[in-house]
Amino acid sequence: MSVALGSTRPLVVRTTPVDDPGDLFTRLPETAPYAWTRHGEGLVGWGEAVRVAVPPGPRRFDWARDRLSAMFAEALVEDDVVAPGSGPVAFGSFTFDPESPGSVLVVPRTILARRDGRAWLTTVGEQRLGTVTPLRDPGRIRYGDGSLTAPEWEHAVARAVRRIRSGLLEKTVLARDLTATAERPIDVRLLLSRLARRYPECYTFSCSGLVGATPELLVRRTGETVESLVLAGTIPRGTDRADDMARGTALFDSEKDRYEHTCAVESVREALGPLCSELKIPEVPELLVLSNVQHLASPVTGRLSAGASVLDVVAAMHPTAAVGGTPTEAALEVIRELEGMDRAGYAGPVGWIDARGDGEWGIALRCAQIEGVNARLFAGCGIMGDSDPASELAEAQAKLRVMQYALEG
């Protein structure tokens, strides 16, 4: 564990109520911001009091929970708010594959938060508000192929379909990446502002260069209550209202998409069941309509057994069938063989956790890894036995447009 403060002394944390700050993103300095917001509420942070590089391996979530618990237990905390997200908070991003390096937890020096009509400021050590500068446009964007060209990715989808039809597995999820190069260094704050404005129903996030707007809530823990939102089954939006409604009806009636959604729901049921004394899952999904696509969605609520933190739930749920496949191990083997890339943080858990074990974590979808003038964009599709490679490519391209919009405006 590396401590940016330069010592192993306990963290000194102070949380105080503040007046409504307005748009949270306008308070961020440009350098390496952290964020988790939806509908204008949530947390933003900057600076690094502590950065923890989480070692890869099957018990990485347990390792992260134990390290954070020990650090938070030693912290000297004055918390005048006492709400989820007050006091010491760590933002985190975990790689999709447990064997891939790159998972990280960061306790920002400063966090500004707004939730349920309240706002607060948390500082670690000396208060450092940072210098807020105007948002900077990245200029012209040039795109290039990622790990696979479009025809190569379609070929990978066709190979996956053959595996599924042979009975080796029921579903897998194949992702593709796209590279982007800007004229000027990419301002993460600008991406966050554009994403939040265009996709208010999504969770806009930023953690160590991974930036996006995910529609999928993996888990929210508030005390004993746990919530999740299962998304699987997707169709692009229509050209007008009538076309839009027809597409929504087609998605809802699609045997392929409904079965894909059922697989995802059952994977969540199996993961949460052992951790919960109560669990409520709707029998029929609903339609979640976003600005670019429609999803089949099932909200899940439960009551946790005593002592489980939000990272315990993340560990149990990742990877869901919505981003991995069914059965999990067979699907992961297909992903490793056919995608031709390391997903890094794409489709991995991203979010935050506080000292009480509360927190919100999503699946890092509709996102990009930003580094200077470079960005690596990601999108993925659920592949079933009757999937059509050309249709899956069109779906992936529709999902990639989320981050293309964020870059181009």
Q: Which residues are catalytic?
A: 171, 216
In the block, tokens 């997707």 appear at 234
**Nearest Cα residue to 134 out of 241, 63, 29:** 29
For 23, residues 6+ apart whose C-beta sits below 8 A from its C-beta are 40, 193
Rounded to 5°, the CA angle 173-175-179 comes to 175
d(CA 217, CA 177): 22
> Helix, strand, coil shares of the chain as percentages rounded to 5?
30, 35, 35
| Helix residue ranges, H only, 108-240 | 150-165, 188-198
For 120, residues 6+ apart whose C-beta sits below 8 A from its C-beta are 15, 16, 17, 18, 80, 81, 83, 86, 112, 113
**Nearest Cα residue to 56 out of 104, 16, 90, 9:** 104
For 396: left if phi > 0, alpha if psi spans -120 to 50, otherwise beta; the answer is alpha
